[in-house]
Amino acid sequence: MTQYEIFTDATSDLPLEVIDSLGIKIIPMDFEMNGKVYSHYPDERELDSKIFYKMSQEGLMSTTTQITPVRFIEYFTPVLKEGKDILYICFSSGLSGTYGSSQIAISSLKEDYPERKIMSVDSLCASSGEGLLVYLAAKEKLKGKSIEELYNWVEENRLNICHWYKVDDLFHLKRGGRISSVAATFGTALNIKPLLNMDNGGKLQLVEKIRGTKTCEHHMINKLKDNYLPDKYDTIIISHADCEHEAMQLEQILKKECDVGEIIHSKIGPIIGAHSGKGTLLINFYGKQRE
């Protein structure tokens, strides 16, 4: 069987130690902050996420861009030259045009490397939900799956990756057009915490507006209790936007109330954080279905 590499993008928000241990290859994504363009890597070499969120809290705006075909070609070419195939697990097409860019790059590369398999699959996931899908795929690769088998596995299992977000900064949702200015102002005054998830089209949707952080977090745990399938895959990822204490508290509640498996912690990087803001908390798990 021909060797192949798993690629994903920096929106997957996987911890560096997980990336290194499983040999996952990450393509950086760009964002602009205060007039300067940065590339986001898992090691945060260009801008630490704590500094990013501090700048955001100070009122500095950030914007993100999709990965270009040129960057895909830059990262894929060395692997193809080694005679290896590529499976790229992409940030949701419901939130970015990155999947389309990957298809353009692959069409070009296939002209130069017709003997190689270069496959791109839409994760329909984001942040550490995408990370969990990639993590589980890398584990399946270790079991001996071929590139075609793994591509099919991703397509068959991607909608089982459940995402539940608690958003703290309502004004970030306002800037993204998800709520009105009035809703952001009154919601902040009333301590409203929106609960969001990913739908089957890979788009974020507002599910509930809940009063208080603790109540919102318990709603997240109840969503897990209703859908979690630990007998199939028991790994859970908890990620946070510069609110590590909340993430650790959520883990303790999970361990107390649920029979959970491995829990991985990660940080929500600037690509997702530009749209969700500081204080976002996210739990991802393999479940029966998305709501």
pLDDT at 177: 55
Kindly report which listed range (101-110, 148-157, 249-258) carries the lowest average pLDDT score. 249-258
Percent of the chain with pLDDT strictly greater than 90:
81
Q: How confident is the model at residue 185 (pLDDT cuts 50, 70, 90)?
A: very low
Residue 102 near residue 90 (C-beta atoms within 8 A): yes
pLDDT at 182: 38
Residue 22 near residue 262 (C-beta atoms within 8 A): no
Q: Tokens in use for 194?
A: 């929106």
Residue that the structure tokens 């928000």 belong to:
13
Residue 258 near residue 228 (C-beta atoms within 8 A): yes
pLDDT at 102: 98
pLDDT at 233 over 70: yes
pLDDT at 275: 87
pLDDT at 171: 63
Find the mean pLDDT for residues 240-263. Answer: 95
Distances (CA, A) of 184 to 172, 196, 199, 206, 216: 9, 15, 23, 14, 17
Residues 6+ apart with CB under 8 A from 11: 29, 91, 96, 126, 127, 130, 269, 271, 272
Find the mean pLDDT for residues 48-75. Answer: 94
Q: How confident is the model at residue 5 (pLDDT cuts 50, 70, 90)?
A: very high
Q: Average pLDDT, whole number, for the chain?
A: 92
